[in-house]
Structure 1
Amino acid sequence: MEHCFTYGSLMCEDIMSAVSGVRSRFAAASLEGFRRQPVSGQTYPGMVPTAGARVPGVLYLDLPASAWPRLDRFEGEEYERRQVVVRLADGRAEPAWTYVFRPEFATRLVEGEWDFERFLATGKARFMARYVGLGFATIRAD
């Protein structure tokens, strides 16, 4: 069982459980030394190493081994799974896996910060319509 730090569409518990195939406990967390940017033409972000930056997100706790192949397939070739250390709201540090945008796809990133609240308001429905058909369980909007 290992933790997964999410910073984009998977911050939504309904999307994460549909993709991973499990429901798990989660907590707010952040990751230092990275920033998230919009991906050109998409509603989701990519995250890249950036000194002095910080990415807010959600840490899903104790994912079973069965979740990781599903997450790897969902993230696809643009992302690599990498081990990091995140901070919880109470200041504790926790090791976790996360998905970092691969450098060879960096030209697809758009300048600026990806906005989670905007995703919830205008992008989540489009995201679900586009990606539900990839063999994952049906995702419900809450």
Structure 2
Amino acid sequence: MGDYTFFFYGTLMAPAILHRIIHGSSTPEVWQKSLIISRPALLPGYRRYRVHNADYPALTPSDSADSPPVLGTIVTGITEGDIYRLDRFEGSEYEKCSVRVKVLRGAAQTKCGEEGDGSLQHALEKTANAGCDESAFREMEEVEAMTYVWKDGKERLDVDQEWDYEHFKKEKMQWWVEADESEL
């Protein structure tokens, strides 16, 4: 099992895409699914933006202390080989950084690719939308993780609009799952 923990906030929140990148298939074997565990998580102090003319988002440190935390997924069980493939997928627009994310204490973990607890996801969305209220974070534990932070300049970002995961799932994800390797 891998020793690394990552926070994903964009296309890699989708298990089919994550498995495609690290295992080579959007429908991996059962044993491959069992290697990585995911939970919903929040990342305070950052913002997620749309990248112009792209389906994927960018994560940057927030300029505002009162911006809501970024809703994403914390994934454990990542191996060094997985990191190599993730680095190639993310490319030169991003750099790997260590961050502190918040997860609900005792939150149920799911094998990546299984449906998680919708009520847990709803609770995190409610907390994220409430802003950075410290009382909302009291029941959460802090976990260190790696993530990919945008380094390619804000001129390529739509800073007036956050990237929308639900829109991505409905409108774009099918192409990402079925695209040829050279297209990703």
Give the TM-score, by structure 2 length.
0.68
Q: Deviations over 1:31-90 (max 9, x none)?
A: 000010111111110011003331000000121111101000000010000000100123
Change (3 A) 1:129 1:107: farther
1:134 and 2:182 are equivalent in the alignment = yes
Distance 2:74 2:92 in 1: 22
Q: Which runs of 5+ in 1 are unaligned?
A: 137-142
**Which of 22, 29, 43 is equivalent to 1:31?**
43
- Cα displacement (A) at 1:127: 3.1
Distance 2:51 2:164 in 1: 12
Q: Percent of pairs identical after alignment?
A: 30
Cα contact 1:43–1:127 (8 A) shared by 2 = no
Aligned to 1:74: 89
Distance 1:42 1:93 in 2: 31
Give the TM-score, by structure 1 length.
0.87
User: Which amino acid counterpart does residue 63 of structure 1 have in structure 2?
Assistant: I
- Cα displacement (A) at 1:135: 8.8
- Cα displacement (A) at 1:129: 4.7
**Which of 60, 80, 83 is equivalent to 2:98?**
83
**Which of 33, 36, 44 is equivalent to 2:56?**
44
Q: Deviations over 1:95-125 (max 9, x none)?
A: 10000000x4321111211111101111212
RMSD: 1.8
Higher strand share: 1
User: Which amino acid counterpart does residue 148 of structure 2 have in structure 1?
Assistant: Y
Change (3 A) 1:41 1:119: same
The structure that has the greater radius of gyration is 2
User: Which amino acid counterpart does residue 109 of structure 1 have in structure 2?
Assistant: L
Cα contact 1:5–1:59 (8 A) shared by 2 = yes
Cα contact 1:29–1:59 (8 A) shared by 2 = yes
Cα contact 2:58–2:149 (8 A) shared by 1 = yes
| SS of aligned partner of 2:153 | helix
